[in-house]
Structure 1
Amino acid sequence: MEVIDTGAPISVPGINNIAEAHEGLSIFSGVGKRLCEGNDLYMEMKESGVINEQNIAESKEALIYGQMNEPLGARMRVGLTALTMAEYFRDVNEQDILLFIDNLFRFIQAGYFLPYWGECLLQWVINPSLVQKEVLCRK
Protein backbone atom coordinates (compact mmCIF):
# COMPACT_ATOMS: atom_id res chain seq x y z
CA MET A 1 0.00 0.00 0.00
CA GLU A 2 1.37 3.40 -0.92
CA VAL A 3 0.44 6.88 0.29
CA ILE A 4 0.53 9.88 -2.03
CA ASP A 5 -0.23 13.38 -0.79
CA THR A 6 -1.18 15.36 -3.87
CA GLY A 7 -1.08 18.64 -1.99
CA ALA A 8 -3.86 19.79 -4.27
CA PRO A 9 -7.58 19.15 -4.56
CA ILE A 10 -8.80 16.36 -6.80
CA SER A 11 -12.06 17.15 -8.54
CA VAL A 12 -15.08 14.89 -8.84
CA PRO A 13 -14.45 14.43 -12.59
CA GLY A 14 -10.93 13.33 -11.66
CA ILE A 15 -12.30 10.71 -9.28
CA ASN A 16 -14.83 9.68 -11.92
CA ASN A 17 -12.08 9.29 -14.55
CA ILE A 18 -10.08 7.10 -12.18
CA ALA A 19 -13.16 4.96 -11.48
CA GLU A 20 -14.03 4.62 -15.17
CA ALA A 21 -10.52 3.84 -16.38
CA HIS A 22 -9.70 1.49 -13.55
CA GLU A 23 -11.42 -1.67 -12.34
CA GLY A 24 -10.63 -0.84 -8.73
CA LEU A 25 -12.54 1.03 -6.07
CA SER A 26 -12.15 4.56 -4.71
CA ILE A 27 -12.81 5.17 -1.03
CA PHE A 28 -13.44 8.74 0.10
CA SER A 29 -13.10 9.53 3.79
CA GLY A 30 -14.49 12.94 4.73
CA VAL A 31 -13.04 13.77 8.14
CA GLY A 32 -14.68 16.84 9.63
CA LYS A 33 -16.83 17.62 6.61
CA ARG A 34 -20.10 19.53 6.60
CA LEU A 35 -23.25 17.56 5.84
CA CYS A 36 -24.01 19.70 2.77
CA GLU A 37 -20.53 19.00 1.32
CA GLY A 38 -20.99 15.27 1.79
CA ASN A 39 -24.44 15.35 0.24
CA ASP A 40 -23.18 17.36 -2.75
CA LEU A 41 -20.36 14.88 -3.37
CA TYR A 42 -22.77 11.96 -3.07
CA MET A 43 -25.20 13.51 -5.57
CA GLU A 44 -22.38 14.25 -8.06
CA MET A 45 -21.10 10.69 -7.78
CA LYS A 46 -24.61 9.33 -8.23
CA GLU A 47 -25.29 11.52 -11.29
CA SER A 48 -22.00 10.53 -12.92
CA GLY A 49 -22.73 6.82 -12.41
CA VAL A 50 -19.82 6.15 -10.07
CA ILE A 51 -22.36 5.27 -7.36
CA ASN A 52 -25.15 2.98 -8.52
CA GLU A 53 -28.05 2.92 -6.05
CA GLN A 54 -29.88 0.22 -8.01
CA ASN A 55 -26.96 -2.21 -7.80
CA ILE A 56 -24.50 -1.27 -5.05
CA ALA A 57 -22.08 -4.02 -6.17
CA GLU A 58 -21.47 -2.08 -9.40
CA SER A 59 -20.54 1.12 -7.55
CA LYS A 60 -16.95 2.30 -7.89
CA GLU A 61 -16.92 4.56 -4.82
CA ALA A 62 -17.45 4.20 -1.08
CA LEU A 63 -18.06 7.31 1.02
CA ILE A 64 -17.40 7.59 4.77
CA TYR A 65 -18.07 10.82 6.67
CA GLY A 66 -17.52 12.27 10.13
CA GLN A 67 -18.89 15.76 10.66
CA MET A 68 -17.20 18.61 12.53
CA ASN A 69 -19.92 18.61 15.18
CA GLU A 70 -19.19 15.01 16.16
CA PRO A 71 -16.89 14.11 19.06
CA LEU A 72 -13.16 13.92 18.39
CA GLY A 73 -13.08 10.15 18.77
CA ALA A 74 -15.83 9.68 16.19
CA ARG A 75 -14.05 11.91 13.68
CA MET A 76 -10.76 10.12 14.22
CA ARG A 77 -12.41 6.74 13.61
CA VAL A 78 -13.64 7.88 10.18
CA GLY A 79 -10.11 7.81 8.76
CA LEU A 80 -9.34 4.49 10.44
CA THR A 81 -12.62 3.02 9.16
CA ALA A 82 -11.74 4.06 5.62
CA LEU A 83 -8.32 2.44 5.97
CA THR A 84 -9.92 -0.77 7.26
CA MET A 85 -12.35 -0.79 4.33
CA ALA A 86 -9.48 -0.24 1.89
CA GLU A 87 -7.56 -3.17 3.36
CA TYR A 88 -10.66 -5.38 3.19
CA PHE A 89 -11.36 -4.66 -0.48
CA ARG A 90 -7.67 -5.07 -1.29
CA ASP A 91 -7.20 -8.36 0.60
CA VAL A 92 -10.58 -10.09 0.30
CA ASN A 93 -11.89 -8.83 -3.04
CA GLU A 94 -8.39 -8.42 -4.52
CA GLN A 95 -9.28 -4.99 -5.90
CA ASP A 96 -6.97 -2.07 -6.47
CA ILE A 97 -7.91 0.72 -4.09
CA LEU A 98 -7.57 4.48 -4.29
CA LEU A 99 -8.07 5.93 -0.80
CA PHE A 100 -8.82 9.64 -0.35
CA ILE A 101 -8.67 11.11 3.15
CA ASP A 102 -9.95 14.66 3.24
CA ASN A 103 -8.77 16.30 5.47
CA LEU A 104 -5.72 14.53 6.89
CA PHE A 105 -5.01 17.53 9.13
CA ARG A 106 -8.45 17.21 10.78
CA PHE A 107 -7.85 13.48 11.23
CA ILE A 108 -4.57 14.12 13.03
CA GLN A 109 -6.07 17.02 14.96
CA ALA A 110 -8.95 14.85 16.22
CA GLY A 111 -6.53 12.19 17.43
CA TYR A 112 -4.08 14.68 18.88
CA PHE A 113 -6.55 15.96 21.43
CA LEU A 114 -7.41 12.46 22.64
CA PRO A 115 -5.09 11.29 25.41
CA TYR A 116 -2.40 8.87 24.25
CA TRP A 117 -3.54 8.84 20.60
CA GLY A 118 -1.98 12.20 19.79
CA GLU A 119 1.54 10.92 20.28
CA CYS A 120 0.80 7.75 18.29
CA LEU A 121 -0.66 9.65 15.34
CA LEU A 122 2.25 12.05 15.32
CA GLN A 123 4.68 9.11 15.20
CA TRP A 124 2.66 7.51 12.38
CA VAL A 125 2.77 10.69 10.28
CA ILE A 126 6.49 11.18 10.88
CA ASN A 127 7.44 7.53 10.28
CA PRO A 128 4.73 5.37 8.62
CA SER A 129 7.02 2.31 8.73
CA LEU A 130 6.24 2.05 12.44
CA VAL A 131 2.80 0.77 11.50
CA GLN A 132 4.30 -2.15 9.59
CA LYS A 133 6.65 -3.00 12.46
CA GLU A 134 3.68 -3.11 14.88
CA VAL A 135 5.43 -0.90 17.42
CA LEU A 136 3.03 1.99 16.97
CA CYS A 137 1.12 2.91 20.10
CA ARG A 138 2.28 -0.01 22.23
CA LYS A 139 3.48 0.70 25.71
Structure 2
Amino acid sequence: MQPTLNPGDGDSNDLVLADKWSIKLYRYRRGDVVLLRSPEKPGTMLVKRLLALEGDWVTVPGRMDVEKIPKGHCWVEGDNPDTSTDSRSRYGAVPLALIEGRVPFILWPPSRAGWVPSHLPPGRLLVKNDDALRDPSRFGAM
Protein backbone atom coordinates (compact mmCIF):
# COMPACT_ATOMS: atom_id res chain seq x y z
CA MET A 1 0.00 0.00 0.00
CA GLN A 2 2.92 2.32 -0.58
CA PRO A 3 2.94 5.28 -0.62
CA THR A 4 -0.16 5.56 1.63
CA LEU A 5 1.38 3.19 4.21
CA ASN A 6 5.10 2.60 4.84
CA PRO A 7 6.31 5.39 2.54
CA GLY A 8 9.93 5.81 1.62
CA ASP A 9 12.53 3.13 1.01
CA GLY A 10 10.91 0.47 3.20
CA ASP A 11 12.82 0.99 6.46
CA SER A 12 9.70 2.24 8.28
CA ASN A 13 6.65 0.18 9.23
CA ASP A 14 3.36 1.91 9.97
CA LEU A 15 1.32 0.45 12.81
CA VAL A 16 -2.36 0.90 11.92
CA LEU A 17 -5.71 0.59 13.62
CA ALA A 18 -7.85 -2.27 12.24
CA ASP A 19 -11.52 -1.40 12.71
CA LYS A 20 -13.40 -4.71 12.52
CA TRP A 21 -16.76 -3.26 13.65
CA SER A 22 -17.16 -1.22 10.46
CA ILE A 23 -17.17 -4.40 8.41
CA LYS A 24 -19.66 -6.18 10.67
CA LEU A 25 -21.95 -3.14 10.48
CA TYR A 26 -21.45 -2.65 6.71
CA ARG A 27 -19.88 0.78 7.29
CA TYR A 28 -17.30 0.79 4.56
CA ARG A 29 -17.25 2.67 1.29
CA ARG A 30 -15.41 2.95 -1.97
CA GLY A 31 -11.97 4.44 -1.40
CA ASP A 32 -11.46 2.99 2.10
CA VAL A 33 -8.29 1.07 2.92
CA VAL A 34 -9.28 -2.41 4.08
CA LEU A 35 -7.70 -5.48 5.65
CA LEU A 36 -8.62 -8.72 3.89
CA ARG A 37 -7.63 -12.37 3.66
CA SER A 38 -5.70 -13.29 0.53
CA PRO A 39 -7.89 -15.07 -2.06
CA GLU A 40 -4.97 -17.41 -2.77
CA LYS A 41 -3.53 -17.89 0.74
CA PRO A 42 -6.29 -17.54 3.37
CA GLY A 43 -3.72 -17.44 6.20
CA THR A 44 -2.21 -14.26 4.76
CA MET A 45 -3.67 -10.82 5.44
CA LEU A 46 -3.50 -8.07 2.81
CA VAL A 47 -4.06 -4.32 2.99
CA LYS A 48 -5.70 -2.85 -0.12
CA ARG A 49 -7.94 0.01 -1.19
CA LEU A 50 -11.60 -0.86 -1.76
CA LEU A 51 -12.28 0.48 -5.24
CA ALA A 52 -15.69 -0.93 -6.21
CA LEU A 53 -18.64 -2.82 -4.74
CA GLU A 54 -21.13 -5.27 -6.23
CA GLY A 55 -22.88 -3.92 -9.31
CA ASP A 56 -20.21 -1.28 -10.01
CA TRP A 57 -18.31 -1.10 -13.29
CA VAL A 58 -14.53 -0.52 -13.26
CA THR A 59 -11.88 -0.08 -15.92
CA VAL A 60 -8.91 -2.45 -15.95
CA PRO A 61 -5.74 -0.58 -16.94
CA GLY A 62 -3.50 -2.19 -19.51
CA ARG A 63 -6.26 -4.47 -20.79
CA MET A 64 -8.79 -1.87 -21.94
CA ASP A 65 -11.42 -4.05 -20.24
CA VAL A 66 -14.44 -2.96 -18.25
CA GLU A 67 -15.58 -5.29 -15.47
CA LYS A 68 -18.91 -5.47 -13.67
CA ILE A 69 -18.47 -6.50 -10.05
CA PRO A 70 -20.66 -9.54 -9.31
CA LYS A 71 -23.03 -9.82 -6.35
CA GLY A 72 -21.23 -10.48 -3.08
CA HIS A 73 -17.86 -9.30 -4.45
CA CYS A 74 -15.68 -6.21 -4.50
CA TRP A 75 -12.64 -4.85 -6.33
CA VAL A 76 -9.48 -4.11 -4.30
CA GLU A 77 -6.20 -2.53 -5.39
CA GLY A 78 -2.93 -1.44 -3.88
CA ASP A 79 -1.91 2.19 -4.27
CA ASN A 80 1.26 1.28 -6.19
CA PRO A 81 0.09 -0.33 -9.47
CA ASP A 82 3.61 -1.32 -10.55
CA THR A 83 4.20 -3.67 -7.60
CA SER A 84 0.76 -4.55 -6.21
CA THR A 85 -0.86 -7.98 -6.43
CA ASP A 86 -4.58 -7.19 -6.40
CA SER A 87 -7.87 -7.36 -8.34
CA ARG A 88 -6.33 -5.48 -11.24
CA SER A 89 -3.25 -7.69 -11.66
CA ARG A 90 -4.28 -11.14 -10.42
CA TYR A 91 -7.42 -11.77 -8.36
CA GLY A 92 -10.23 -10.10 -10.26
CA ALA A 93 -13.30 -9.42 -8.11
CA VAL A 94 -12.91 -10.92 -4.62
CA PRO A 95 -15.64 -12.05 -2.20
CA LEU A 96 -16.73 -9.39 0.28
CA ALA A 97 -16.51 -12.10 2.96
CA LEU A 98 -12.69 -11.89 2.76
CA ILE A 99 -12.71 -8.34 4.17
CA GLU A 100 -11.76 -8.45 7.86
CA GLY A 101 -11.54 -4.76 8.75
CA ARG A 102 -11.13 -1.17 7.70
CA VAL A 103 -7.86 0.75 8.23
CA PRO A 104 -8.86 4.28 9.27
CA PHE A 105 -5.81 5.44 11.26
CA ILE A 106 -2.01 5.23 11.44
CA LEU A 107 -0.96 4.85 15.10
CA TRP A 108 2.84 4.63 14.80
CA PRO A 109 5.34 6.19 14.25
CA PRO A 110 4.16 9.40 15.94
CA SER A 111 5.43 11.49 13.04
CA ARG A 112 2.94 9.69 10.73
CA ALA A 113 0.01 9.33 13.15
CA GLY A 114 -3.26 10.41 11.57
CA TRP A 115 -6.23 9.44 9.44
CA VAL A 116 -5.69 7.23 6.41
CA PRO A 117 -7.14 9.10 3.42
CA SER A 118 -10.10 7.57 1.63
CA HIS A 119 -10.05 8.26 -2.12
CA LEU A 120 -10.63 6.68 -5.52
CA PRO A 121 -8.18 6.78 -8.41
CA PRO A 122 -9.61 9.14 -11.05
CA GLY A 123 -11.35 7.57 -14.04
CA ARG A 124 -11.34 3.98 -12.76
CA LEU A 125 -14.86 3.66 -11.36
CA LEU A 126 -17.17 4.10 -14.33
CA VAL A 127 -20.55 3.44 -12.77
CA LYS A 128 -21.51 3.11 -9.13
CA ASN A 129 -24.29 0.62 -8.54
CA ASP A 130 -26.36 3.28 -6.76
CA ASP A 131 -26.18 5.39 -9.97
CA ALA A 132 -27.67 2.51 -11.98
CA LEU A 133 -30.47 2.11 -9.44
CA ARG A 134 -31.41 5.79 -9.78
CA ASP A 135 -31.67 5.69 -13.59
CA PRO A 136 -31.30 2.14 -15.04
CA SER A 137 -32.08 3.27 -18.62
CA ARG A 138 -28.86 5.29 -18.59
CA PHE A 139 -26.82 2.06 -18.59
CA GLY A 140 -28.76 -0.09 -21.01
CA ALA A 141 -30.89 -1.87 -18.38
CA MET A 142 -34.55 -2.51 -19.15
Q: Which has the higher contact order (CA 8 A, sep 6+)?
A: 2
TM-score (norm 1): 0.27
Identify the structure with the greater strand proportion. Answer: 2
